Structure 1
Amino acid sequence: MVDVIPKHIKDVWDRWNIRGAIILSLTLQAILICFSPLRKRTPRSLLIILVWTSYLLADWSANFAVGLISKNQGKESKPDDPPQDKKLMALWAPFLLLHLGGPDTITAFALEDNALWLRHVFGLVFQAIAGVYVVLQSLPNSLLVIIALVFASGAIKYIERTTALYSASLDKFRDSMIQAPDPGPNYAKLMEEYKAKNEARLPTKIILIDEPDKEHRPKKLVHPSKALSGERKDSQHPSNGSSRGRKDTTKLYHLEIVQYAYRFFNTFKGLVVNLIFSFRERDESLEIFENLKDAEEALRIIEVELGFLYDALFTKIAVLHTFIGSLSRVVASGTLVAAFILFHKKPNKWKDFHDADVVVTYTLFGVGLALDFISILLFMFSDWTFAALTSLKDDPEEALWSPFHKAFNWLLGQRKLSWMKQACYENGEHNCTQECKCEQKCTQECKCVNVHDVLTTQFFLRRWCGSMNVFNFLAYATNAKVERIHDARSGFRIYSWIIIAYPFGLVNFVIQKLGEWMMKGISVVHRAITRKVNETSRKKLWARRCLFPFYIGFVSNIPHATKSFCNGILDFFDISDVLDKIHKNLFVHGEPMTKQLWEFMFEELKTKSKFGDSPENAKRISLARGEWTLRANLPEGADREKLVRYVTNVDYDQSLLMWHIATELCYQNKKETIPKDYDKSKHYSYREFSKIISDYMMYLLILQPGLMSEVAGIGKIRFRDTLAEADKFFQRRHIENYRDVELASETILDISSDVDPMGVKGDRSKSVLFDASRLAKDLMKLEEHFEIDKWEILSKVWVELLCHAACHCDATAHVEQLTRGAELINFVWLLMAHFGLTDQFQINKGDARAKLIIGK
């Protein structure tokens, strides 16, 4: 009988299978602890795939290794093995339990993993039984004390992970925030007293004493702008890198940013499980955010708050920052260190055990201790630690800053947002004045028309990715190269990406050209053969009866049948959608966040928050998708309702695609003029804001359907129909190969659109290409006739469209996105909650209390 696997390979496997499985498990733990924290800083697919693969294989490899050790304990020793090798392998089983406990930086890859906490309880029980079985098989064993110490450390780590999964499961997460049952005032006692007074014929009545109105409600927090007024001495507060302290004392310190974020995290984490908030929580948040002197502070508070939310749901951090969690970590680390010391001091271990096994054991201890040390460092320098060891005082003037506060503030200052001034691109060139011919990185004295502060925080200091992916419909339809408005990448990153991407682009180009030449060649040959077959069939009867049906009816249809068959295979295995998504991703690039864009959105929501003083108004504002801005910013003579119909009479996804194409048509129009007496820098800023948010919303609609599932509708069908109409139109105009978005835009605008496209085409096609053209022309007429900057209107409409999507996106989808670098829509979602612009506040119903009044 022939062995499928050669004997020497089997011998190698028998000798190294346990050691290999142990090293594999250890390697996966190192990958998880080092790379899993990075997934909240970048959406890169390669990193996510690496973490996902390691997360799935980590438990499997540890279980597999325990099984191999258990099986090996029952086997008879070979003559060339040292007598106590199995006793050393009994020490490896508790290490695998330690690995199953997982690193602190990741307990769940997705929210669904938290619901499997009960499975981990059973896993803990059975792995403990397997470990005990392995140890019992090795008795008597001189390593029993060391094994017990490692076993204790592993059991504690496994319990920590199970507890983290349990507390982060949505049901338990909701239960942890629900307060104790409140029976309210004693109704029965009140009515008994009321009845007794009436029977005694005393003039009695019951009145309800309402809670004070919001203007008279007590304010629990002193606002930052007041708390950090010039009255506080610099000597009482930590300096920002200088001994003299900070001159601008109206801004929040780095430590205070984390403290406010932690307070708001404990309040608004109920958003994840759709809890209802009281008016007090709304007013407390609104008071702080409305009076912040700088919108950047709001951005910093929200990014730290989202970090707390990520840690609570996907890591052990929240569990470890409890008293029991901290104590368990001290015990787990202490027992592991004690076990290593005892093993290192054990005499004759190199004689009693195989050298390779001793090396593996030292590797397990060394790497395990190193990973544990890294976990402790991450624990000590996390935002949770700074928030837990300090408290936000109601009256900061009474709080004297200690050296610890200064140290904490300095450490947090290393992770502050970094900005770089950068001139904006316009048509591939920097948008500069004649007097200023600056480079991409501008100086403080730059006189560019449009210079913005671009977020350039270093990768390892970020709390989120800091950029927005954008996708443009017309660039995709014309296969045009997309120009970046801002580019925060360093020169090394730009050139390295070109070096990496160039071979793939070259191969793709060669394949496309070969395909085109092949199809043209087949077409030429087919036409020649068809002409010859037709000529022969007219002259010869046998050709007419045999050759013509065979070629025309069978051979000529083979390419079409092959294409249909391949398409059927792709659809059956759901590969076509994957290929289509890969193709679309070629037209996606990241636009860095700019300070001016965030300030613009912050001020828009801050203004709207003033009108959200009742649940009805707050809900109406959150539901608005452009009509609020159009009615508030357009004069009556501007035919407001004509533009309002573009958002109220259509579905959200239809409105999104229509306004996106209209925005691009206006953006590519080079004949536009700036209204008189209008700030040129504001005009270009609004133009840029509209372009970025428009392309970002199209990216969400087409490539992030999970975030837009509540409002997307049939957006995919509309996109495909609009793309089909665009392709057909470009082919008729013979511009399909120009790859020029500006030319395509001019050609679309040249088509007369006096008649409603729906009246001509009907509703069979869902295309909105020429509806968008009509909208663009209406916006241009608005600017021409009323001297209103259309870009100001467009930018504010896009903010409303973004807010509509943010507050209608499922909360779990927002949380899931935090594991992929976070998105701007997550920040807008939380910012709307801070301003009270959601339907999760009951802000007009206080706690009315009944009081029995007895008259004279």
Structure 2
Amino acid sequence: MDTIRILMLLSLFLQTILAFFGDRRKYATGFWLRFVVWLAYMSADWVATFSLGFLACSQANSANPNLIPGFWAPILLLHLGGPETITAYSLADNELWRRHLLELVIQAGVAFYVLFKLWSKNTVIFVAIPIFVSGIIKYGERIWAFTFPSLEDFGEEDISSGSSRAYEVRNVREARRLFRAFKMLSTNTLVFDCDQTETYEWVSRKHAEETFQLIEIELGFLYDRLYSKVTEISWPRVILHSITCLSSISALIFFSIMTTSKNVYSKHDTMISYLLLVGAVLLDCHSFTVLLLSDWAVIWKRKRWSRSMGQHLLTSAPSNKPVKELRKQYFAWELNSHRRVEVSNALKELIFKQVMGKRSGHDPHTSGFNVLELLAERGVELLRRKGCFDELGWSVAGVEFTQSLLIWHVATLLCYIADLRNIGFSKERNCVMSSRSLSNYMLYLLVYRPAMLATELPGTRYAETTSHLGRLLSRKTKERMEGNCTLDEVDALSVQEVDAFFYELLRSPPTMLQTIEEEDKGEKSALLDGCRLAMSLQSLGTGNGWSNGKKWEMISEVWVEMLVYAATRCGWKEHADALAGGGELLTHVRLLMAHLGLSKQCLPEVASKQLADQSV
């Protein structure tokens, strides 16, 4: 019987972890926190189910006066209902609601069987029945939450303001209006349910920071709908939560009265029972508090996503060994730590300004408006407006997106290294910092979240580029490196060696470019083209008379174009998956564009006709 006692305490411990840490995935990117939540999520149902079956078997020996308390079974049913802060770990879990419904029927039947065996012990029944009712409510609520992401309508409930912070109230109300403007027909299809002129008017009148705050709140609503039970505030939900809280409290009171008058259980079982009942009361109170303090109810300052973006340099070369299927499914990142930087206000301003510029010059209700052409842009029109398409256009036109991304990453890094030697160069300038952070962020997506870039074999070009660089830096051991250069060998490269290599390139471009070309071996490496692009960018100051600041402004704008292009190519399922990993800047940009009418789903008449014409 010691086994069941341990399992009961373990089940309560797992529920506590999920209750207090389940919703932190919304903004946490740390591996260990997410691993603990994943482990608790995967173990909680199994432990509760196994314990329930164990208890059912133990009730066969009803003559034992020291029988383990039968009301532990309904407590396990309560645990199977899960906490308020997490219902699904990934989107795939939401598709299993029918299986959970069947499990509810089976587990409720087992718990009822245990109660039936205890029917003669009238005192215990007064403890068990309230917990049983609470367990049915919580498990049913969990199944209801599982079915929501597959429904066509995201809901019509209103937000009730309960805070004096007028600014926050206004933001949440406006974000709620935006949130109600779209429907998710499936996990990868999102369409809009109102005229995009209306949402465009809402967003276009705001500043960049305020707009990103609205989108942050809006995506917080989406996260709650997909991954937690906090999906709406309504009187039925408040009543149900009140019933569960009162049921747990009444069960605790009845058990206290029972043990005071006559206690048939052992001292250890009595202590464990008190711990389980008190734990149930506290978890119910916590769930009620989470519901009432959510963005759906009242407004208060909180962190709704990580507000940071991953950074990865071609020269960082972390280990990129194949990830096992389990880690691929539940962890979209490598175990290697990667650096993260804050998404600055300056970067938000740059993105907002550029996206607004892309949209404001076009009227979606005119026949000349082609949303697909706008979404396909990734720098061509920008370079034409800057008057440098002839020199640089080859790097964005007619080049596969992943290759273009790597070319510009190499060029941005090389330009940065070159300009560091110039007196008066400020690496803290907004355009320089935005260029560097976006360059590293896009490479981070390519390496750690390739599904979000929706490109074919995204890792191939990156692997061959790093291998190419590895051969160049290991010429003394060329015999060992010939053939297929493994990424493990590239891992040994240091940033100092790479910087030294690029400094040598800057001192003698023709010689080094020839050396790089000799080591290319006809692969899909972007290193040579990246170096050539860097030389062209550096020559803008001499041949075209550009200032260094103008050059970096253009580089930053090209990276925003690539960010926007990638955001529209990423499916909504991948964006939704990213919400459970701390959130991605790419998702915020995608929703910003959608609200401004820059989305295939935004213009049902025009976009549908264009899509139909393209498919012919």
Contact 1:611-1:617 within 8 A present in 2 as well = no
Contact 1:41-1:465 within 8 A present in 2 as well = yes
Deviations 1:638-675 (A, max 9, x none): 4x134112111210000000100000000100377699
Contact 2:28-2:582 within 8 A present in 1 as well = yes
Counterparts of 2:422 and 2:313, CA distance in 1: 24
TM-score computed with the length of structure 2 as normaliser: 0.86
1:266 and 2:172 matched: no
C-alpha spacing 1:626/1:764, structure 2 compared with 1 (3 Å): same
C-alpha spacing 1:354/1:311, structure 2 compared with 1 (3 Å): same
Deviations 1:247-289 (A, max 9, x none): xxxxx811100001111111135385424336x5311111111
Equivalent in the alignment of 1:328: 240
Equivalent in the alignment of 1:585: 336
Aligned positions, number: 576
Return 753-762 or 66-75, whichever deviates more. 753-762
Q: What's the offset of the Cα at 1:575?
A: 12
Percent identity of paired positions between Structure 1 and Structure 2: 31
Equivalent in the alignment of 1:565: none
C-alpha spacing 1:254/1:373, structure 2 compared with 1 (3 Å): same
C-alpha spacing 1:177/1:590, structure 2 compared with 1 (3 Å): same
Amino acid at match of 1:829: R
Equivalent in the alignment of 2:569: 808
Contact 2:462-2:525 within 8 A present in 1 as well = yes
Amino acid at match of 1:291: R
Counterparts of 1:577 and 1:123, CA distance in 2: 27
Amino acid at match of 2:503: E
1:787 and 2:536 matched: no
Q: What's the offset of the Cα at 1:100?
A: 0.6
Equivalent in the alignment of 2:469: 726
Structure 2 counterpart of 1:659, from 395, 408, 411: 408
Q: What's the offset of the Cα at 1:827?
A: 1.0
Counterparts of 2:61 and 2:24, CA distance in 1: 44
Counterparts of 1:43 and 1:577, CA distance in 2: 16
Structure 2 counterpart of 1:743, from 500, 524, 531: 500
Other structure's SS at 2:83 match: coil
Return 837-846 or 767-776, whichever deviates more. 837-846
Q: What's the offset of the Cα at 1:737?
A: 6.6
What are the ranges of 5 or more consecutive residues in structure 2 without an aligned counterpart? 157-161, 478-491, 608-616
Amino acid at match of 2:395: Y
Return 648-657 or 280-289, whichever deviates more. 280-289
Other structure's SS at 1:590 match: strand
Counterparts of 1:333 and 1:583, CA distance in 2: 41
Equivalent in the alignment of 2:355: 605
Deviations 1:670-696 (A, max 9, x none): 377699xxxx88992211111110001
Amino acid at match of 1:162: I
Counterparts of 2:322 and 2:191, CA distance in 1: 44
Equivalent in the alignment of 1:463: 304
Q: What's the offset of the Cα at 1:742?
A: 3.0
Structure 2 counterpart of 1:628, from 375, 381, 393: 381
C-alpha spacing 1:332/1:583, structure 2 compared with 1 (3 Å): closer
Other structure's SS at 2:341 match: strand
Structure 1 counterpart of 2:372, from 619, 624, 635: 619
Other structure's SS at 2:180 match: helix
Counterparts of 1:613 and 1:672, CA distance in 2: 46
Q: How does 1:13-92 map to 2 (within 5 A)?
A: 15-75=1-61, 83=65, 85-86=66-67, 89-92=69-72
C-alpha spacing 1:575/1:129, structure 2 compared with 1 (3 Å): closer
Q: How does 1:417-456 map to 2 (within 5 A)?
A: none
Contact 1:621-1:628 within 8 A present in 2 as well = no
Equivalent in the alignment of 1:532: none
Contact 1:753-1:773 within 8 A present in 2 as well = no
1:842 and 2:582 matched: no
1:100 and 2:14 matched: no
Counterparts of 1:573 and 1:261, CA distance in 2: 39
1:165 and 2:78 matched: no
Deviations 1:481-526 (A, max 9, x none): xxxxxxxxxxxxxxxxxxxxxxxxxxxxxxxxxxxxxxxxxxxxxx
C-alpha spacing 1:89/1:699, structure 2 compared with 1 (3 Å): same
Q: What's the offset of the Cα at 1:722?
A: 1.5
Deviations 1:431-472 (A, max 9, x none): xxxxxxxxxxxxxxxxxxxxxxxxxxxxxx311112111011
Other structure's SS at 2:451 match: coil
Q: What's the offset of the Cα at 1:756?
A: 9.7
C-alpha spacing 1:733/1:659, structure 2 compared with 1 (3 Å): farther
Counterparts of 1:42 and 1:571, CA distance in 2: 24
Other structure's SS at 1:145 match: helix
1:752 and 2:495 matched: no
Q: What's the offset of the Cα at 1:740?
A: 4.1
1:829 and 2:590 matched: yes
Q: What's the offset of the Cα at 1:838?
A: 1.2
Counterparts of 1:820 and 1:352, CA distance in 2: 48
Amino acid at match of 2:55: I
Amino acid at match of 1:772: G
Q: What's the offset of the Cα at 1:763?
A: 7.9
Q: What's the offset of the Cα at 1:111?
A: 0.6
Q: What's the offset of the Cα at 1:571?
A: 7.9
Q: What's the offset of the Cα at 1:753?
A: 7.9
Equivalent in the alignment of 1:132: 112
Return 260-269 or 366-375, whichever deviates more. 260-269
Contact 1:612-1:837 within 8 A present in 2 as well = no
Equivalent in the alignment of 1:776: 534
Contact 1:662-1:772 within 8 A present in 2 as well = yes
1:276 and 2:191 matched: yes
Other structure's SS at 2:245 match: helix
Deviations 1:384-443 (A, max 9, x none): 013xxxxxxxxxxxxxxxxxxxxx5xxx2xx1xxxxxxxxxxxxxxxxxxxxxxxxxxxx
Q: What's the offset of the Cα at 1:119?
A: 0.9
Counterparts of 1:336 and 1:770, CA distance in 2: 68
Q: How does 1:207-222 map to 2 (within 5 A)?
A: none
Q: What's the offset of the Cα at 1:783?
A: 2.6
Contact 1:614-1:843 within 8 A present in 2 as well = no
Q: What's the offset of the Cα at 1:714?
A: 3.1
Amino acid at match of 1:685: N
Equivalent in the alignment of 2:481: none
Q: What's the offset of the Cα at 1:611?
A: 2.7
Contact 2:407-2:526 within 8 A present in 1 as well = yes
Equivalent in the alignment of 2:98: 118
Equivalent in the alignment of 1:150: 131
Structure 2 counterpart of 1:716, from 447, 450, 459: 459
Deviations 1:50-102 (A, max 9, x none): 1111111111111111111111111365xxx6x2x33x621111111111111
Counterparts of 1:347 and 1:154, CA distance in 2: 23
Amino acid at match of 2:70: A
